[in-house]
Chains A and B, each alone.
Chain A
């Protein structure tokens, strides 16, 4: 059975802290790994990773994939209150379906 596990389930940090969110997976027909940010409504796309060891970066957010050990991390540096959200990890499979993890709830306190 396909499985995507995110950790921690939730965390609370102070503004300016750096956080690392984890995503491990066991999915057949792996094609990609995606990160989404979900605030109050629809998940919004952050990154898609397909190759091991190549970091993707967008501002204070960065992510990397390890296809040998079957995990990805999402780093957020210098956190701000606007980073408070649920962060979802999903694995894209051949056949165009995504398998989602349960998400990590991040709360950034000012």
Chain B
């Protein structure tokens, strides 16, 4: 099992360019999440999905869009990149809660380091 994978690992963009980050998970998890991590600010939730075909806004959604066309994939798009979007982006997935042994644990991908010049 690969777990959660992210592509690309690194990317440099110029202001105004667009790009898509791809996240894939092979654990059959219902929930998927996109976070950004900035120094001194921990992980902040951008968007998330509770199942195929659904998406919802997190704490810092402005400037980003997402899509979940297949259960195993969650895409994060930047339509017009800005220097303020320079960050490390993490994707995570989690099981559907409930029942015995439910866990809030989320499983993280290795991250994408994005620089916007």
Contacts and interface: CB of A to CB of B under 8 A. Distances in A.
Interface string A21-54: 0000000000110100000011111001000000
B88 to A, nearest CB: 9
A43 B43 contact: yes
B42 A48 contact: no
Contacts, number: 51
Interface in A80-110: 88, 90, 92, 96-98, 100-103
A102 B42 contact: yes
Interface residues on B, range: 20 to 34
Interface residues of A, number: 21
Main secondary structure of the interface of A (DSSP, over half): strand
Contact of A43 (B41, B50, B97, B108): B108
Contact of B42 (A32, A44, A101): A101
A48 B109 contact: no
Interface of B: 4, 31, 33, 35, 40-45, 48, 50, 58, 90, 94, 97, 103-111
